Amino acid sequence: MAQRIHLIAAARPNFMKVAPLWHALAAAPDFEPVLVHTGQHYDANMSDAFFADLRLPQPEHHLGIGSGSHAEQTGSVMIAYEKIALADRPDWLVVVGDVNSTAACALVGAKLGIPTVHLEAGLRSRDRTMPEEVNRLVTDAIADVLWTPSPDADENLLAEGVAKSRISRVGNIMIDSFELVRPAIEAADVPAELKLDRGGYGVVTLHRPSNVDDPAQLARLVDALIEAQRGLPLVFPVHPRTARRLRAALFDSRLARAGVTLVEPLSYVRFMSLVTAAAAAITDSGGIQEETTYLGIPCLTLRDNTERPVTIAEGTNRLVKPETLAIELELALKSPRPVRCPALWDGKTAGRCVADLRRRSGPSKLPSAERGPLGFAADAAARHGPIEERRRASGRSSYRRSS
Ligand code: UD1
């Protein structure tokens, strides 16, 4: 019987991580992927457009959680997902990235004794004021299997005392998404639609609470963008969180008057069409630091730290302050672009994930009496640590596969 794998999709950056894995699992006879959308992002251009671009089906379960405080969002996802997990009894749970839904579902999986995998494990900014850093720490501490994108992630986990057997380096799944829809990205010509010269503009995204929720920091960033726009025309697809803040301070009209092109958030294909023809990206997103490294496009990250240092060491990324953005942009445009790309950022990560799941699931060499409550082989349990023990301790005999 095919193993049922719950894949949790919640917010915009998750969809590019879930899609390649969903496609690879759907093509494998021994796995049955089940998409669960928590509804953390819900606007058509923050969610549906990504499902369409990445050829994902309608999720089998939609939790409809929506926005809220961190506790509200995390708690609501836990309550709703626990019901689905108990009713559906997956063989594996895969959570991706670092959003609130990632940590929430991992907590549910761990407490129900569902073998839980974290895709994009081990990244650390070492800045616990970032909500994502807390989500990463929590998720990696409780997931059974940690799929990492780069050696620094393995090192972080090992330094935290994680057993080596729980870690599998699979590479960067975001690159799989890019390669999956590369023809559509190449066919779209969003720069032309926006009357921008190919290679003659910069693309901007900002949405981190530390940048946009603090009015003084947002004002500094607006000034920096206006200064940078004098050297390079900028186009700025505005995240809803940021749009609200810009509007409230009348910064949106200031930016527009200075010549910055403000647009609604774009779908994946349309956004990547804009990025691939850009001279540079200016961002506080994690994913864009990686995509620009893969594409060899200079990236200026408006943050004090990054959980993706490999994009600096081996890629095109540099951390900048608002005050130095314009000069750093000028320098980046003049500097030669590195042609190197981190190992295993090759579009084949989803295949490695499926192979790892298979390796960790069996084929069972053990008689059925030695298998766990979910049909999960005890030898695999021994490989990833205390799964079996936790199941027994939790006394969840109700969480037993009936078939
Ligand atoms: C979340 C993630 C962040 C990720 C980002 C990508 C957490 C803690 N943060 O941040 O890691 O990089 O997604 O976008 O999980 N909103 C809408 N429509 C939507 C979604 C959000 O209007 O479809 C607005 C709402 O006003 C909401 C605000 O955006 O309150 C913030 O959304 P939320 O999901 O809380 O966090 P993000 O800033 O998007």
Is the Cβ atom of 212 under 6 angstroms away from ligand 1? Answer: no
CA of 239 to the centre of ligand 1 (A): 8
Do 220 and 88 have their domain in common? no
Do 330 and 363 have their domain in common? no
Mutate which of 40, 65, 72, 245 to test ligand 1's pocket (most atoms within 8 Å of Cβ)? Answer: 40
Q: Which domain holds residue 361?
A: 3-172+345-394
Written as six digits, the tokens of 215 are 């009015």
User: Confidence class of residue 386 from pLDDT cuts 50, 70 and 90?
Assistant: very low
Structure-model confidence comparison of residues 34 and 368, the more confident one: 34
Which of 173, 180, 334, 344 minimizes the C-alpha distance to 272?
Answer: 180
Q: Which of 313, 334, 355 is the last residue of a domain?
A: 334
Is the Cβ atom of 96 under 6 angstroms away from ligand 1? Answer: no
Specify if 271 maps to a domain. yes
CA of 123 to the centre of ligand 1 (A): 20
pLDDT (0 to 100) of residue 363: 58
Q: Quick check: helix, strand or coil at residue 189?
A: coil
What are the tens digits of pLDDT across the range 290-319?
999 999 999 999 999 999 999 999 999 999
Residues classed as catalytic: 207
**Rounded mean pLDDT, 29-35:** 98
Is the Cβ atom of 401 under 6 angstroms away from ligand 1? Answer: no
> Could you tell me the pTM of the whole model?
0.91
**What DSSP string runs through 201-263?**
-EEEE---HHHHTSHHHHHHHHHHHHHHHTTS-EEEEPPHHHHHHHHHTTHHHHHHHTT-EEE
Specify if 65 maps to a domain. yes
Do 143 and 37 have their domain in common? yes
**Rounded mean pLDDT, 129-147:** 98
Mutate which of 48, 67, 135, 244 to test ligand 1's pocket (most atoms within 8 Å of Cβ)? Answer: 67
Atom of ligand 1 nearest to the CA of 100: 15
Q: Which of 292, 309, 334 is the last residue of a domain?
A: 334
pLDDT (0 to 100) of residue 383: 38
Task: Give me Rg for the CA atoms of the chain.
Answer: 21
Q: Whose CA is nearest to atom 7 of ligand 1?
A: 99
What whole-number distance in Å separates Cα of residue 359 and Cα of residue 363?
8
**Rounded mean pLDDT, 329-341:** 87
Amino acid at position 365, single letter: K
pLDDT (0 to 100) of residue 335: 87
Is the Cβ atom of 120 under 6 angstroms away from ligand 1? Answer: no
How far is CA 7 from each of CA 168, 180, 200, 327, rounded to the nearest angstrom?
A: 18, 18, 39, 43
Do 268 and 168 have their domain in common? no
pLDDT at 403 over 50: no
Q: Which of 334, 360, 381 is the last residue of a domain?
A: 334
Specify if 401 maps to a domain. no
Atom of ligand 1 nearest to the CA of 99: 15
pLDDT (0 to 100) of residue 336: 80
- Tell me the sheet residues that pair with 282: 204, 300
Is the Cβ atom of 46 under 6 angstroms away from ligand 1? Answer: yes
**Rounded mean pLDDT, 152-169:** 98
> What number of CA atoms fall less than 13 Å from residue 284's CA on the CB side?
22
pLDDT (0 to 100) of residue 340: 78
**For residue 363, is the peptide bond before it cis, meaning its omega torsion is within 30 degrees of 0?**
yes
Do 330 and 246 have their domain in common? yes
What are the tens digits of pLDDT across the range 222-271?
999 999 999 999 999 999 999 999 999 999 999 999 999 999 999 999 99
Please report, for the chain, how many H helices and E strands are present, in that order.
20, 13
Domains in the chain: how many in total? 2
Do 282 and 361 have their domain in common? no
What whole-number distance in Å separates Cα of residue 309 and Cα of residue 286?
11
Specify if 400 maps to a domain. no
Do 369 and 328 have their domain in common? no
The distance from CA 239 to its chain's CA centroid, rounded to whole angstroms, is 16
CA of 249 to the centre of ligand 1 (A): 20
Is the Cβ atom of 303 under 6 angstroms away from ligand 1? Answer: no
Do 327 and 351 have their domain in common? no
The side-by-side arrangement of strands in the sheet containing 167-169 is 61-62, 31-37, 3-9, 92-96, 116-119, 145-148, 167-169
CA of 142 to the centre of ligand 1 (A): 24
**How long is the chain?**
403
pLDDT at 392 over 50: no
Specify if 177 maps to a domain. no
Specify if 402 maps to a domain. no
What CATH number does the domain containing 127 carry?
Answer: 3.40.50.2000
Atom of ligand 1 nearest to the CA of 13: 6
Do 288 and 206 have their domain in common? yes
What whole-number distance in Å separates Cα of residue 94 and Cα of residue 98?
12
Do 13 and 154 have their domain in common? yes
Specify if 339 maps to a domain. no
User: Confidence class of residue 395 from pLDDT cuts 50, 70 and 90?
Assistant: very low
Is the Cβ atom of 207 under 6 angstroms away from ligand 1? Answer: yes
CA of 325 to the centre of ligand 1 (A): 25
Is the Cβ atom of 43 under 6 angstroms away from ligand 1? Answer: yes
Do 203 and 285 have their domain in common? yes
Specify if 366 maps to a domain. yes
Is the Cβ atom of 12 under 6 angstroms away from ligand 1? Answer: yes
**Rounded mean pLDDT, 128-144:** 98
CA of 41 to the centre of ligand 1 (A): 6
Which of 256, 251, 235, 244 minimizes the C-alpha distance to 213?
Answer: 244
Is the Cβ atom of 68 under 6 angstroms away from ligand 1? Answer: no
| Mean per-residue pLDDT over the chain, rounded | 91
- Tell me the sheet residues that pair with 146: 118, 167
Do 118 and 168 have their domain in common? yes
What are the tens digits of pLDDT across the range 191-203?
999 999 999 999 9
Which of 281, 276, 278 minimizes the C-alpha distance to 317?
Answer: 281
CA of 358 to the centre of ligand 1 (A): 34
User: Confidence class of residue 398 from pLDDT cuts 50, 70 and 90?
Assistant: very low
Q: Quick check: helix, strand or coil at residue 28?
A: coil
